[in-house]
A and B are shown apart, each in its own frame.
Chain A
């Protein structure tokens, strides 16, 4: 049996999983703090806008969002498979397209800042 090409989707999934594990809890906590009006110093709208306007900032934000989307899409694909939804090609296509569209939208919004 030939070797699988799954590493193409698995590597970004693994990278995204690592990014999610490190970044998402922090982003959720900061988001809640912001919602409560307790914005930590240095994380005001203006300074974060400045970060997103900078080339390196755009790259980091794109990396975090795109990898997280890809990882979530792949995880959801595996979950569907585990639950016995065997239409894998259809599910994989839908989820990966959603992740690609989300990544493209992220790139577009970042480009416009």
Chain B
């Protein structure tokens, strides 16, 4: 479940030999490891929600104190805890650069990628909990099954009525056609938007922000012919009409996908379809 913990960046490395070994915590941002020996350390207090289904009847908080470097992220602190204090701590992570979407958790009550939450932005005890609105499997690990099932239902892939033979060449697309959906294709399936969405919390059958946004992404794709199939799922009460445009999904999205805008556009498409179907004689969307 957890990738092995790479050793924290050494403070003793100096400048001379640092080229041979890249900083393991560098995430491509300008806030990466500074050169020299002046890196600041700080005692970080973490309050982590623990739950072991084999022994616990309910979840409880556990406090850890761990020395961290100032430029580390919360995931680094968790890794340090796991390596040096408590190897039983469970959580998911993989890329450490906000690409894989697997380290989503509630940090001080907000859905965040722990690899993208810098310790310098937090003071005092940092409370770390599993993503809300999802069943907890163990400690910070949640079960994403409901999201996966919804993702499948919206058919997030290009659907064509007739498959072209390979000899017919590629499906061409202009840059303008690409730009129509590009933003909505940047989703990393981290499920932060589901944890942020009050509607999903209140109405678990809601298809939800990320899946609907991907439906919109494929509806907008010039190569796709599956819009009618998708709208059978999207234009239902459980689909886009459960959304009340709170907008929290877009606020927490680490990939700037802006699911709220996709859902609003889907509502316009769904409304036009409804008018065509119900008010125009013989109308089909």
Contact = CB atoms under 8 A, between A and B. Distances in A.
Interface stretch (A39-47, A77-85, A100-108): A77-85
B240 to A, nearest CB: 8
B274 A5 contact: yes
B202 interface: yes
Interface string B227-271: 000011101111101001110000000000000000000011011
A82 B202 CA distance: 8
Given A3-B231, A78-B244, A82-B198, A10 B271 contact: yes
Contact of B237 (A4, A11, A79, A82): A4
Interface centre among A2, A10, A79, A86 (most CB of B within 10 A): A10
A78 B241 CA distance: 11
Contacts of A2: 236
B245 to A, nearest CB: 7
A10 B266 CA distance: 12
Contact of A3 (B202, B236, B244): B236
Contacts of A86: 202
Nearest to A81: B244
A80 B50 CA distance: 34
A84 B202 contact: yes
Contacts of B235: 3-4
B125 interface: no
Interface residues of A, number: 17
Interface in A47-101: 78-79, 81-82, 84, 86
A7 interface: yes
Given A4-B235, A4-B239, A82 B271 contact: no
B47 interface: no
B241 A6 contact: yes
Contacts of B137: none
A78 B235 CA distance: 18
A85 to B, nearest CB: 10
B199 interface: yes
A10 B241 contact: yes
B267 A82 contact: no
A10 B244 CA distance: 10
A23 B191 CA distance: 38
B245 A6 contact: no
Contacts of A10: 241, 267, 271
Interface string A1-40: 1111111101100100000000000000000000000000
11 contacts: A1-B236, A3-B235, A3-B273, A3-B277, A4-B241, A5-B274, A8-B274, A10-B271, A11-B271, A14-B268, A78-B245
Given A3-B274, A8-B274, A82-B199, 6 more contacts: A1-B237, A7-B267, A10-B271, A11-B271, A14-B268, A14-B271
**4 nearest A-B residue pairs (beta carbon):** A78-B244, A7-B271, A7-B274, A6-B241
